[in-house]
Structure 1
Amino acid sequence: MTEVLQAALVWFNDPANWTGSRGILARTGEHLTMSVLAVLLASLVALPLGVWLGHRRRGGTLTVLVANASRALPTFALLLIFASTSLGFGNRPAVLATAIFAIPPILTNTHTGLLEVDAAARDAARGMGMTGLRSLAQVEIPLALPMIAAGLRTAAVQVVATVTLAALVGGGGLGVYIVVGLGTRRFGEVLAGALLVAALCLIAEGVLGLTQRLMTPEAMRRYATGQADPDRSSSRV
């Protein structure tokens, strides 16, 4: 293990591994591009469907159950199936396979977020004369944003980790270092690739976690931390 770690450090210290079309910076950009495309593709399907089902409060349970059951589909198997179609080998089947993998958390959280909007807020919107669509846009979705953001955060981190498999079907990204390292028995390169993927996941988690916090209204953050707990307030009086 020590030898592998030393080999990984030597690999990181080689300037040639950082520049060029096959360097770390280029591979990281490729990895992020595939991840962003996959999450956007999943969002185009899951967000409107989750909002619609959550607003209607009907039929969502079955849809969410089906979406969650799809998590049992092995992403690697989907990757190989798509690669054998007209999509061909490369980045495209990886984007599509990981997009399918990202749909369940986005759909589930969006649906749940809309369902958990306080009924009193809905009634108040109706009392103000808002139409259903206006209430959805101005009341329900803003209140559900923290939960929706949590679903996007979960999906994005999962996709960043899973896009690594793209290298197995001739795609790019940081997974190339792992696949090439295994093929040539350069295990230092394998470890380096794994560390790069792990670091990218942690960075994505941190950035999206901060984004989720910023999307949460101040009053909801205070309530979550107990600063606006009515029982505590009354106990101080």
Structure 2
Amino acid sequence: MTWFIDHLGEVWDLGRQHAVLAGLPLLLGLLIALPLGWLARRFRWLYAPFTAGFGLLYTIPSLALFVILPLVTGRGILDPFNVIVAMTLYTVALLVRTVADGLGSVPGAVTNAATAMGYTPGKRFFAVELPLAVPVISAGLRVAAVSNVSIVSVGTVIGVQQLGLFFSDGFNRQFYDPIVVGIVACIVLALLFDAVILVVTRLLTPWLRATGARA
């Protein structure tokens, strides 16, 4: 506890950087996965290659990706941009199937009713299909958030500033306090991400609360 208090400013700064490196790719990955998941759902023949193909991105070792990406992006190996790109790819890998399955969970009777009411495909997607798929997408997003917080810490191997630096610092000095603080900070950050996603999901699905209240 004494070590934590003495290094509170450093924990805060690295925690903020860790949150950006894990959170920004979460938003970017969701924006990319939404149209890809819709395509996989809209054209059935794309479902298998999309879900399997993008899923394979998650099998790439994070350290290898962090080292290779600077050669692709042309950025320095210490540039956080490379970590953001890598984490966005991992997020897309996790969410494409989730989005496709979430849209697939919308009852056909509901989409048919919306079409009969004159909804265009675009309006039906944003007004009917996507809102009803939010709970499924949210569940996948929570998994991706925890995964991102964990994987970002690997960036410490290439010198990117974030909470993972406490792990390497503690290991190099054979001093466990920074390791424990780093672990706890990552857990707290993951819980914060999870809480935010749950709150946003709750705000976007008011009918679920109404249904629960009637039950």
Q: TM-score range by the shorter chain?
A: 0.7 to 0.9
Unaligned stretches of 5+ in structure 2? none
1:163 offset after TM fit, Å? Answer: 0.9
C-alpha separation in 2, matches of 1:83 and 1:182: 26
Deviations 1:75-98, CA, capped at 9 Å, x for gaps: 121112224552222222222222
Q: 1:173 aligns with which of 124, 145, 162?
A: 162
The aligned residue for residue 203 of structure 1 is 192
1:206 offset after TM fit, Å? Answer: 2.5
1:194 offset after TM fit, Å? Answer: 1.5
Q: 1:141 aligns with which of 120, 123, 130?
A: 130
C-alpha separation in 1, matches of 2:86 and 2:208: 39
Q: Indicate conservation of the 8 Å contact 2:58/2:94, yes or no.
A: no
1:68 offset after TM fit, Å? Answer: 2.1
Q: Larger deviation: 28-37 or 145-154?
A: 145-154
1:133 offset after TM fit, Å? Answer: 1.9
Are 1:129 and 2:118 matched, yes or no? Answer: yes
The aligned residue for residue 3 of structure 2 is 11
C-alpha separation in 2, matches of 1:141 and 1:26: 36
The aligned residue for residue 193 of structure 1 is 182
Specify which structure has the higher proportion of helix: 2
Are 1:72 and 2:64 matched, yes or no? Answer: no
Rg larger in 1 or in 2? 1
C-alpha separation in 2, matches of 1:221 and 1:53: 31
Unaligned stretches of 5+ in structure 1? 1-8, 229-237
Q: Using structure 2 for the length normalisation, give the TM-score.
A: 0.88
Q: 2:105 aligns with which of 116, 120, 123?
A: 116
The aligned residue for residue 145 of structure 2 is 156
Q: Larger deviation: 212-221 or 187-196?
A: 212-221
Are 1:24 and 2:16 matched, yes or no? Answer: no
Are 1:53 and 2:53 matched, yes or no? Answer: no
Which residue identity lines up with residue 18 of structure 1 in the other structure? Answer: L
Which residue identity lines up with residue 8 of structure 2 in the other structure? Answer: W
Q: Per the alignment, do residues 109 and 220 of structure 1 end up closer, same or farther by CA in structure 2, a change over 3 Å counting?
A: farther
Q: Indicate conservation of the 8 Å contact 2:114/2:128, yes or no.
A: yes
Are 1:215 and 2:204 matched, yes or no? Answer: yes
Runs of 4+ aligned residues of structure 1 deviating over 6 Å after TM superposition are none
The aligned residue for residue 89 of structure 1 is 77
1:191 offset after TM fit, Å? Answer: 1.8
Q: Indicate conservation of the 8 Å contact 1:89/1:169, yes or no.
A: yes
Q: Indicate conservation of the 8 Å contact 1:55/1:115, yes or no.
A: no
C-alpha separation in 2, matches of 1:163 and 1:138: 35
Alignment length (residue pairs): 213
Alpha-carbon RMSD: 2.2
Q: Per the alignment, do residues 11 and 172 of structure 1 end up closer, same or farther by CA in structure 2, a change over 3 Å counting?
A: same
C-alpha separation in 1, matches of 2:101 and 2:204: 17
Q: Indicate conservation of the 8 Å contact 1:38/1:98, yes or no.
A: yes
C-alpha separation in 1, matches of 2:171 and 2:128: 52
1:57 offset after TM fit, Å? Answer: 4.1
Which residue identity lines up with residue 194 of structure 2 in the other structure? Answer: E
